[in-house]
């Protein structure tokens, strides 16, 4: 039996051990899925606090229950920071961050550092899959040479694939199992191993011809969203100047049963994908002498939305004879989207920083984020404020940045002195409402 045949057989019979590298919003749901269908799973992470919580049966992500972690532990899941255990795994799935640096260029240091940490423990028969979003060519240019440093040949003894994550935290309509999985292999044998890895846990596997194709697929998905959100954000500015409600326009347009997809405006882009991924392609395109003007223009529009919100807030305060400086503003919702605790790239935080820099006394309320978390680029020593009649009355303005369903909007409408609504939560106009 060849190395490939042995690997595929172990994966299909669920005798393989699955290693998940990076136990965050992508890695943790994937771990739970493999664990639930009968695989032995080992999770790797460098964050000691995460490992302590997981080993105690506790979740640190709101939409993942602690009961599910405890059940996984009972079924044999182990989490560790000891990368020497990589050799125990038949498949290694990398789910690590790929942010931008301060120059809005790709930072793939987490991918490279993870690969460097495991490469000394690789053995024949293993499948290595990268799920982190990155520029086309990363798997071939960065992972392939590192995988082969120890003398093992990719396509014969090791099997290298790229399979982009498609998690949507907090979306009740889709879960890891039901979201189709795109898989590209470095060689046909790699693709065969990758399909065997994922088809046991995912309902539909979508094979493509190469790792570069799979990498580009992920970027297209998110650039499509970024460009369309940029378009509707620009439309919002134009509609506002004309006295037209953009949310009413979108609701009417989406009744067309073909040729239109509804995207709604907001205070900017958030999450780990849409604000970041387009710039992975614009950066890589320069290597080929190309300038991705359309993508960069949408990024420019979306990045400008927090300043637009600031202007609308200033207009509202001026209407009540109040200056921006020394005003008290309560920001409602600091997660990047409604009904989750995910803070990554949240435009709410960008707005809070602008306000603080303008001399505003900023506070926030978010039922999903009780304490402002430690973030790489943002520091606020704040706790979530209660949304009570008494507390609302102490603020000069309430700014709806993320419209969580848990907020009492009737109370907010009754008690807030000024409401700046960036999400279209209030559809009927009233004197103290500013659409932003």
Domain assignment present for residue 130? The answer is yes
What's residue 350's pLDDT?
94
Question: With bands split at pLDDT 50, 70 and 90, how would you rate the model's confidence at 172?
Answer: confident
273 is catalytic: yes
Q: What CATH number is associated with residue 165?
A: 3.40.50.720
* Stretch 272-298: mean pLDDT: 89
Exposed, middle or buried by CB within 10 Å (0-12, 13-18, 19+), for 221? middle
Considering the domain architecture, whether residues 67 and 9 belong to the same structural domain is answered as yes
Highest mean pLDDT: which of 107-111, 170-174, 375-379?
107-111
Instruction: Give backbone dihedrals phi and psi of 14, rounded to 5 degrees, phi first.
Output: 60, 25
214 assigned to some structural domain? no
Kindly report the backbone phi and psi dihedral angles of residue 44, in degrees, each rounded to the nearest multiple of 5, phi listed first. Answer: -120, 135
Q: What is the pTM of this model?
A: 0.92
Checking DSSP bridges between strand 91-94 and strand 17-21, what pairing results, if any?
parallel
257/280 same-domain check: yes
Mean per-residue pLDDT over the chain, rounded:
95
Percent of residues, the chain, with pLDDT higher than 70: 100
* Separation between Cα atoms, residue 72 and residue 34, nearest integer Å: 10
Q: What is the pLDDT of residue 275?
A: 81
Instruction: Between 162 and 167, name the one with better pLDDT.
Output: 162
| Domain-terminating residue out of 261, 280, 301 | 301
292 and 321 part of one domain? no
57-106 per-position pLDDT tens digit: 999 999 899 999 999 999 999 999 999 999 999 999 999 999 888 778 89
Q: What is the mean pLDDT of residues 45-55?
A: 95
Q: Give yes or no: residues 293 and 320 share one domain.
A: no
Q: Is residue 167 part of a domain?
A: yes
The answer, yes or no, to whether residue 272 has pLDDT greater than 80, is no
Point out the domain boundary residue: 184, 209, 234.
209
The pLDDT score that the predictor gives to residue 101 is 83
Per annotation, catalytic residue among 89, 95, 190, 273: 273
User: pLDDT (tens digit, 9 = 90+) per residue, 97-131?
Assistant: 998 887 788 999 999 999 999 999 999 999 999 99
User: In terms of domains, do 37 and 68 share one?
Assistant: yes
My answer on whether 230 and 322 are in the same domain is no
Q: Stretch 267-285: mean pLDDT, rounded? A: 86
pLDDT at 170 over 80: no
Per-residue pLDDT tens digits for 129-152: 999 999 999 999 999 999 999 999
What's the pLDDT score for residue 123? 97
Above 90 in pLDDT, residue 374? no
- What percent of the chain lies above the pLDDT cut of 90? 89
Residue 67 belongs to a domain = yes
Say whether both 285 and 330 belong to one domain. no
pLDDT for 322 equals 95
Residue 154 shares a structural domain with residue 7:
yes
Which of 340, 388, 399, 349 is closest to 372 using CA atoms?
Answer: 349
On whether both 401 and 271 belong to a single domain, the answer is: no
Q: Which of 270, 301, 332 is the last residue of a domain?
A: 301
What does the DSSP 8-state code read for residue 80? E
Q: Is residue 291 part of a domain?
A: yes
Specify the DSSP class assigned to residue 142.
I
Same domain, 34 and 124: yes
Q: What is the CA radius of gyration of the chain?
A: 24
pLDDT of 421 over the 80 cut? yes
Question: What is the number of domains present in the chain?
Answer: 3
In this structure, are 318 and 294 located in the same domain? no
Q: Please give the residue range of the domain that contains residue 22.
A: 3-209
Supply the pLDDT for residue 208: 98
Mark whether 93 and 191 lie in a shared domain: yes
Tokens of 135: 């520029």
């Amino acid at each position: 039996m060849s190395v490939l045949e042995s690997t595929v057989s172990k994966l299909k019979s669920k005798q393989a051990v699955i290693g998940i590298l990076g136990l965050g919003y992508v890695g943790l749901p994937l771990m739970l899925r493999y664990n639930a269908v009968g695989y032995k799973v080992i999770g790797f992470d460098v964050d000691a606090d995460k490992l302590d919580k997981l080993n105690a049966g506790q979740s640190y992500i709101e939409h993942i229950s602690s009961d599910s972690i405890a059940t996984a532990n009972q079924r044999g899941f182990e989490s560790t920071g000891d990368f020497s255990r990589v050799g125990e795994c038949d498949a290694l799935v990398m789910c690590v961050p790929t942010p931008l640096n301060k120059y809005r260029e790709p930072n793939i240091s987490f991918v490279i550092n993870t690969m460097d940490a495991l490469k000394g423990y690789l053995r024949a028969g293993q499948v290595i899959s990268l799920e982190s979003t990155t520029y086309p060519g990363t798997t071939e240019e960065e992972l392939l040479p590192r995988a082969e440093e120890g003398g093992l040949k990719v396509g014969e003894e090791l099997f290298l694939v790229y399979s982009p994550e498609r998690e949507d935290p907090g979306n009740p309509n889709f879960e890891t199992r039901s979201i189709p999985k795109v898989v590209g292999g470095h060689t046909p044998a790699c693709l065969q191993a990758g399909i065997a890895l994922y088809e046991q846990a995912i309902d539909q596997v979508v094979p493509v011809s190469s790792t570069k194709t799979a990498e580009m697929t992920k970027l297209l998905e998110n650039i499509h969203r970024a460009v369309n959100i940029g378009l509707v954000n620009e439309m919002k500015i134009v509609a506002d100047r004309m006295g037209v409600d953009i949310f009413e326009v979108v609701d009417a347009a989406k009744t067309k049963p073909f040729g239109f997809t509804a995207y709604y405006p907001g205070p900017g882009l958030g999450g780990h994908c849409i604000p970041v991924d387009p710039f992975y392609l614009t950066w890589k395109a320069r290597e080929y002498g190309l300038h991705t003007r359309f993508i960069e223009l949408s990024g420019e529009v979306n990045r400008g939305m927090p300043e637009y919100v600031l202007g609308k807030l200033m207009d509202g305060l001026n209407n009540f004879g109040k200056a921006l400086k020394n005003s008290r503003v309560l920001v409602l919702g600091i997660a990047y989207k409604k009904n989750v605790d995910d803070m990554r790239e949240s435009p709410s935080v960008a707005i809070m920083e602008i306000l603080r820099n303008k001399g505003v006394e900023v506070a926030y309320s978010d039922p999903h984020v009780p304490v402002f978390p430690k973030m790489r680029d943002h520091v606020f020593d704040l706790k979530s404020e209660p949304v009570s009649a008494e507390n609302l009355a102490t603020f000069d303005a309430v700014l709806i940045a993320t419209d969580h369903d848990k907020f009492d909007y009737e109370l907010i409408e009754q008690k807030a002195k000024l409401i700046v609504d960036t999400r279209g939560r209030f559809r009927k106009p009233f004197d103290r409402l500013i659409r932003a």
